[in-house]
Structure 1
Amino acid sequence: MAINKANNGWLVDSQPGGRGGKRFRKTFKTQAEAKAYEAWLTTQVNQNEKWQPEKRDTRKLRELIDLWYSHHGSGLKAGANTYSRLKLACEAMGNPVADRFTVGTFATYRTTRLAAGITPNSVNREHAYLRAVFNELRRLGIWKKPNPLAELRQFKIEEKEREYLTLEQISDLLEHLAVGSNRHTVMIAKVCLATGARWSEAENLELKHVRNAQIQFVGTKSGRIRTVPIEKQFEKDLKAHHDKKETSQRLFAYAYSAFRDGVDRAGITLADGQLTHVLRHSFASHFMMGGGNILVLQRALGHANLTMTMRYAHLAPDHLQEVVKLNPISALTLR
């Protein structure tokens, strides 16, 4: 702190919080006023934390990730997998000191990931994981500073066309699955096609989940239980398929590999990542093409919001039909 005589009075040039603290410069007419102001500044620093220099958070990023998993992530369905991904990303970034982890740190990391051939969608997922970590730690009171990734925008991903099977392809596929060595494959596929279930949801069904012409899906991606109606004959077929000696309370044994073999035998070519999921897309696509209600489809698929289900809206028979009648070419034809 210093009080110096200036041309127009007495200048207080003070940094009461010490190095790194806020600096104050103010001129007074008299030396007494300057000393009183200096004393007031000292009092404020001692009583108000906002006036004190910002304290460093010397914890490493890995420690924050560990705290997130301990206090929150361990209770999530996919928490262990997310935790593993976060640790790998942290290691790749050199495990920086927490308060030196900035948007620039992650931006540099994701640029390196893209250069290594990692897809933008995967990089966006890592971004979302890390951002969620800081958000949750703030809610827990473990992290006091702003979320360093809060303002960083994710890469815009071009929406891919969702493949679905025609009725002819579905019939052909079921025939090839039925002659395979795994008797469960065709029935699991039928569950997916009849209800829109994910392969894992159908594959893990137990006998108790099928009753009253309904299938109850538990252990879903969203964590919510959902119930979808089925035909009574299909319910009988599922119960007749069950062999307690073979699979205990489960309806089916694992059959993912057998499904892939069946797709190959049927000569169906699918995009990467669309193997069993094509069944779910086929259910949703045929549902909409048949005139189904988009809200009913949302509930059947278990989508958390309608935005995800709207990807199938264009398949509805009346989708944008006004365009056919109200375009200028049609108007010219009617003249």
Structure 2
Amino acid sequence: MPIRNLKDGSDLPWISDIRPNGRDGKRIRKRFATKGEAIAYESFILRKVDDKPWLGEKTDLRNLSELIKLWYDLHGQQLAQPKSRLRKLELTCFGLGDPVASKLTINDFAHYRQMRLDGEIEDFQGKKTKVKPNTINHEHAYLNAVFTELKRLGEWTLPNPLEGLPQFKIEDTELAYLYPEEIPIVLDECRNAEYEHLVTIVMVCLATGCRWSEAENLKGSQIAHNRITFVKTKGKKNRTVPIAQELANMLPRVRGPLFRPCRRSFERAIKRTGLIFPEGQMTHILRHTFASHFMMNGGNILVLKQILGHADIKDTMRYAHFAPDHLDDAITKNPISSIL
């Protein structure tokens, strides 16, 4: 990486290591007390090279942070959660040392992601935390999207520096769901919770397959004729799901927000049940429960795709194995079926 921390205990741990005139040009190495000084020095050296017209076309000397800001202004702020995406990109940029974007290479990012996995990269507060490969894949995808979109907009003419670098392969995670006998246990604890509408939110999730945030943020205007219309969804498309009259009667009769944030209350209720869910699926297990039971009860996979609001059928196919007759041919068409 052009700028890195040698961690050798010296007063000048940060080193700038660059070849401003390319791989065959002179190598310039200099040590500094802080990362900021190293970044400033590298920018100074590269600008000196850029000011020499006989070297040909001017080099794009924009730092990665400048491109991220440009991407955000032209495209990123239109995303569903723009501030969150920007924050993650800024953290990645900080970890990479905010290099000159045209100098960023696959090798730089490969070293960065390994250091992230090992917990050697500091965040904005100077804290080092090990992350999982899935987190790295998200950072990879987000940064790749910056270059791809800027290239589409004509704001970036050089090759995408991450092109050709594959993401980590991630094993499929367990899609846990509630068994029929567990659902009443969960609902009973939610009824006994400190928030009276907690059980209603849980029942909306179980009855429609919506995400927790979609149920928690419901407004009265989204309820009509025993149907719930979910808006501002992850896929940025509204979808409407019918509900039973009994559930419709449980919903508060107000025009504005129906509920208050109560995720913590749900977590405490689940803790009281003694049930153990896979990591990261505390509230999402309700969505998995709807989809799993929908297929086990003979539901159509294409209908499920519409209800869940998936943009890609591959996401919905994760639940296909719950269908009653899924792969039943394995029983009758295996080589020992005739002797069993």
- TM-score, structure 1 as length reference: 0.80
Aligned to 1:215: 228
> Which of the residues 201, 208, 215 maps onto 1:188?
201
Residue 211 of structure 1 contacts residue 235 of structure 1 at CA under 8 Å; is this kept in 2? Answer: no
Distance in 2, Cα, partners of 1:88 & 1:236: 46
Q: Structure 1 residue 211: deviation in Å?
A: 1.1
* 1:177 pairs with 2:177: no
Q: In the alignment, is the contact (CA less than 8 A) between 1:206 and 1:250 conserved in 2? A: yes
In structure 1, the residue corresponding to 2:339 is in which secondary structure? Answer: helix
Q: Deviations over 1:93-113 (max 9, x none)?
A: 111112101111111100101
Contact persistence 2:65–2:90 (CA under 8 A): yes
Aligned counterparts of 1:234 and 1:290: Cα–Cα separation in 2:
20
Q: 1:78 Cα shift?
A: 1.5
1:269 alignment partner in structure 2: 276
Determine whether 1:320 maps to 2:327.
Answer: yes
Deviation string for 1:130-153 (max 9, x for gaps)? Answer: 000001111111110111112110
Q: Does the 8 Å CA contact 2:174/2:278 hold for their aligned counterparts?
A: no
Pairs within 5 Å for 1:78-227: 78-116=81-119, 117-227=130-240
On the 8 A contact 2:137/2:167 being kept in 1, the answer is yes
1: distance between equivalents of 2:326 and 2:284? 24
1:118 is displaced (CA, Å) by: 0.8
Paired residues of 2:96 and 2:112 also in contact (CA < 8 A) = yes
Is 2:311 aligned against 1:304?
yes
CA distance in 1, matches of 2:281, 2:305: 20
CA distance in 2 between counterparts of 1:140 and 1:314 reads 42
Equivalent pair of 2:195/2:262 in contact (CA under 8 Å): yes
**Following the alignment from structure 2 to structure 1, what is the Cα–Cα distance between the partners of residues 298 and 290?**
13
Q: CA deviation at 1:54?
A: 4.9
Identity of aligned residues (%): 49
Aligned residues: 278
CA distance in 2, matches of 1:315, 1:55: 59
Which entry has the higher C-alpha Rg, 1 or 2? 1
Q: Deviations over 1:255-307 (max 9, x none)?
A: 11110111011111111111010000000000011110000000100000100
Q: Which runs of 5+ in 2 are unaligned?
A: 1-20, 23-54, 120-129
- 1:81 CA displacement: 1.0
Query: Displacement, 1:125?
Result: 0.3
Q: Give the Å deviation of 1:73.
A: 0.8
SS of equivalent residue, structure 1 residue 328: coil
Alpha-carbon contact 1:120-1:155 (below 8 Å) kept: yes
Segments ≥4 residues shifted beyond 6 Å: none
Query: What is residue 78 of structure 2 aligned with on the other side?
Result: 75
Are the counterparts in 2 of residues 288 and 312 from structure 1 also a CA contact under 8 Å?
Answer: yes
Whether the 8 Å contact between 2:89 and 2:142 is mirrored in structure 1 is: yes
* Residue type at the aligned position of 1:76: L
CA distance in 2, matches of 1:65, 1:76: 14
The residue aligned with 1:291 is 298
CA distance in structure 2 between the aligned counterparts of 1:125 and 1:62, rounded to whole angstroms: 18
Distance 2:331 2:240 in 1: 38
Give, in whole Å, the separation in 2 of the partners of 1:237 and 1:61: 51
TM-score with structure 2 setting the length: 0.79
Inter-partner Cα distance in structure 2 for 1:332 and 1:169:
39
Q: Note the residue ranges of structure 1 that are not aligned, 5 or more in a row.
A: 1-18, 21-51
For 2:152, the aligned partner's letter is: R
Structure 1 residue 233 displacement after superposition: 2.4
